[in-house]
Amino acid sequence: ETGVTQSPTHLIKTRGQQVTLRCSSQSGHNTVSWYQQALGQGPQFIFQYYREEENGRGNFPPRFSGLQFPNYSSELNVNALELDDSALYLCASSLVGANGYTFGSGTRLTVV
């Protein structure tokens, strides 16, 4: 049983650019959630995808968007990057109806 895989592990972008982060969910899991973790803080919920549709969103602007694919993998896209977007982005997969979440190791994004 494979866990959650995220890519890339590290990324440096310039303010104003766009970025795409990727997540492969754990085998058998059909729901993916994304979290942003700023340095020294707890993770903050961005959004969740189930059956390729957004299924709940946290307090993040529309420039944060996502996709879920038929194989349940997911992408997080961030447009017009700001310095405050620098953070660890974590992906978690789960099976709807269950309450266990498996997290990936995250993508550390630095915006300069």
Partner 1 sequence: AQKVTQAQTEISVVEKEDVTLDCVYETRDTTYYLFWYKQPPSGELVFLIRRNSFDEQNEISGRYSWNFQKSTSSFNFTITASQVVDSAVYFCALDNQGGKLIFGQGTELSVKP
Footprint on this chain of partner 1 (rule: CB under 8 A):
31, 33, 35, 40-45, 48, 50, 55-56, 58, 88, 90, 92, 94, 96, 99-106, 108
Q: Which is nearer to partner 1, 24 or 94 (CB)?
A: 94
Amino acid found at 26: Q
Amino acid found at 101: Y
Give least dist CB 39 to partner 1, A: 11
Rounded CA gap, 26 and 1, in Å?
7
Rounded CA gap, 15 and 32, in Å?
27
Q: Which is nearer to partner 1, 55 or 86 (CB)?
A: 55
